[in-house]
Amino acid sequence: MNPWIRDYFSFSRKDRIAILVLVTLIFLTLLLPNFFRNAIHTPPDQTDTAWIALVKALVVKQDSENLVHSGPKWSGNRQFAARTPDSARRWKDWSQSRQNSRPLPEKRFVRKPVAPVDINLADTTAFIALPGIGSKLADRIVKFREKLGGFYSIDQIGEVYGLADSVFQKIRQLFLMAPFLVKKININNASIDELKTHPYIRFNIARSIISYREQHGMFTALEDLKRLVLMTEDIYTKAYPYLEL
């Protein structure tokens, strides 16, 4: 053999051992990944969105299971609820969120129907039951009716002091008037005190009626009242149903 080749390719005993060790290490290096592939689990990259979504889904599922199985027992097991404060807190938050998400029931106020009122027979209680009529207005209506001697028209209610026309128009359809005989005043024999107390006559017209009787004698017709200076057509029309000879 060529001495040059022999110098490069001849190995001593130590060289052969070293080469054998090196080859063994290389062989083991190639086999180790396959050997530990199923034994070692390496988590995927944190940027893997599919993996992150899967982990979150598992966490939510686990929390819901804990919420159902570990929540406070409302069947009377208060000791168990006290031992799981986190579960109780989650249960409370979940219950409150459920209550807040529920729509509130719509409140409906149904007004009771109001019975019609006979203006000549009703007392103050019946008038107070009408919308917009308080105790003071009800009392004024009754007193005005007594001074007149009864109502002959529903429109007379609108003359009550303090009753707004808007309120009267709103409740006008609730009034009714059965046949009623109003109290009348005899202008030929009534005193000045009886005449002046009537809301449509008052003192000045009452004194004029007495003066006319003293000067011209008894009235022969109600139309004679129009001769009085203070008796306007409007006053005569209003007072006529309450006067007689």
C-alpha distances out from residue 148 to 55, 75, 114, 119, 196, Å:
91, 73, 26, 13, 11
**What does the pLDDT read at residue 6?**
59
**Rg of the chain on CA atoms, in Å:** 55
Whether the per-residue pLDDT at 43 is higher than 90: the answer is: no
> Who wins on pLDDT, 94 or 124?
124
Whether the per-residue pLDDT at 79 is higher than 60: the answer is: no
Please provide residue 71's backbone torsions phi and psi, each rounded to the nearest 5 degrees: -70, 170
Domain extents in the chain? 117-176, 185-244
**What does the pLDDT read at residue 75?**
46
Identical fold between 117-176 and 185-244: yes
| Helices and strands in the chain, H and E counts | 11, 4
Dist. CA 244–CA 49, nearest whole Å: 105
Kindly state the tokens that stand for 95.
Answer: 């219950």
pLDDT tens string 153-211 = 999 999 999 999 999 999 999 999 988 899 999 999 999 999 999 999 989 999 999 99
C-alpha distances out from residue 195 to 89, 91, 140, 224, Å:
84, 83, 20, 16
8 Å CB contact between 119 and 179:
no
8 Å CB contact between 231 and 208:
yes
Fold assignment, 117-176? DNA polymerase; domain 1 (1.10.150)
In the block, residue with structure tokens 């299971």: 65
Task: List 118's β-bridge partners, or say none.
Answer: 176
CB-based burial, 97-131: b 16+ in 10 Å, e otherwise: eeeeeeeeeeeeeeeeeeeebebbebebebbeebe
Euclidean distance between the first and the last CA atom of the chain, given in angstroms as a whole number: 175
pTM of the model: 0.54
Give CATH for domain 185-244.
1.10.150.310
